[in-house]
Amino acid sequence: MDEKNYLSIGEVLGLLLDEFPDVTISKIRFLESQGLIEPERTPSGYRKFSTAEIDRLRFILREQRENYLPLKVIRNRLEGDTSDGMIRPYEDTNPRGIRNVTPASHPAASKTIPQTASKPRGRQAERDNTSSLNRDELLQEATIDEAVLKQLVGAGLVTPRIVGDMEMFSVLDREIVEVGAKFVELGIDVRHLKAWKHSAEREMALFEQRIIPFLRQRNPAARQQALELLNDFIELGEQLRASLMAAAAKPYVEGM
């Protein structure tokens, strides 16, 4: 398929909102984390969805909404297993034809749950995040110990893309690694850093509720307004977090 026929995750969200008003980017990422879909990635790590992948996503969402099927059963159906004894109205459930997506050839069909980390993007989207670093380059530029990088990857703070036999990291990954390594130097165990990741994901789920109405309009001006609103939310979140931390630290500061 030609590159121009691929859609970004934001474009896919806009495409699905009319039929699935409750769908969010977090929901799409969750389905990816469960191995039900596997969009391709650009060299800089951005998701890109083919028509077949969007059809597969529509099928999953319809099965959840219309037949209340758990993900395990939906996975079996996508893999061609009809042992649940249920008859699916494929032509109604998926008018573009789930049978057009060959289960055996789909990357997600034979995979267990992959370790994918979703990374929220606000002002980060305006940074130069088009470059990629291999493991050696990341270790050199971030000046961290390889053991610490292994721990950060294992904890899901960053997730490298596998290209051949190489692990590739984005510029944003490098920033996360650098900050994470400084926490480790100050005696904070890597496993505790996951709290920041979960907090960021919860914040993004909250912000999505405000920006989705703009994305539903599916026009450039509304999309730009959604990005600006998201940027404002992220900046306000950083300010509020800093103020709350200062308030929490006040008893210690005053007592010194």
Could you give the domains of the chain? 3-105 (1.10.1660.10), 123-188 (1.10.1660), 193-254 (no CATH)
Among the listed residues 85, 82, 74, the one whose alpha carbon sits nearest the alpha carbon of residue 31: 74
- pLDDT confidence band for 256 (50 / 70 / 90): low
What pTM did the predictor assign? Answer: 0.55
Is 60's pLDDT higher than 50? yes
Tell me which of 121 and 165 has the higher pLDDT: 165
Tell me the pairing of strands 40-41 and 47-48. Answer: antiparallel
Is 226's pLDDT higher than 60? yes
Average pLDDT over residues 158-167: 84
- pLDDT confidence band for 237 (50 / 70 / 90): very high
Could you tell me if 74 and 60 are in contact, meaning their C-beta atoms sit under 8 angstroms apart? yes
pLDDT of residue 153: 93
Residue 174 to residue 133: CA distance in whole angstroms: 8
pLDDT of residue 122: 40
pLDDT of residue 116: 37
Residue 81 to residue 83: CA distance in whole angstroms: 6
Average pLDDT over residues 8-17: 89
Average pLDDT over residues 2-14: 79
Residue 240 to residue 214: CA distance in whole angstroms: 25
Instruction: For 229, list phi and psi in degrees, rounded to 5.
Output: -65, -40
Q: Residue 114 region, left (φ>0) first, then alpha (ψ -120 to 50), else beta?
A: beta
Could you tell me if 38 and 111 are in contact, meaning their C-beta atoms sit under 8 angstroms apart? yes
Average pLDDT over residues 87-112: 40
pLDDT of residue 130: 53
pLDDT of residue 75: 86
Query: Where do runs of H (alpha helix) occur along the chain?
Result: 9-16, 25-33, 51-67, 71-78, 90-93, 135-142, 146-154, 171-185, 190-216, 220-254
pLDDT tens digits, 172-209: 899 999 999 999 999 999 999 999 988 988 898 889 88
- pLDDT confidence band for 104 (50 / 70 / 90): very low
CB atoms within 10 A of CB 57: 23
The percent of residues above 70 in pLDDT, for the chain, comes to: 77
pLDDT tens digits, 117-146: 334 444 444 554 556 888 998 998 888 889
Q: Residue 35 region, left (φ>0) first, then alpha (ψ -120 to 50), else beta?
A: left
pLDDT of residue 84: 39
Instruction: For 171, list phi and psi in degrees, rounded to 5.
Output: -65, -35
Give the number of residues written for the chain: 256
The tokens for 242 are: 């800093």
Is 147's pLDDT higher than 90? yes
Query: Which residue shows structure tokens 């789909």?
Result: 106
Among the listed residues 38, 177, 185, the one whose alpha carbon sits nearest the alpha carbon of residue 116: 38
The contacts of residue 226 (CB under 8 Å, 6+ apart) are 211, 214, 215
Among the listed residues 105, 24, 104, the one whose alpha carbon sits nearest the alpha carbon of residue 57: 24
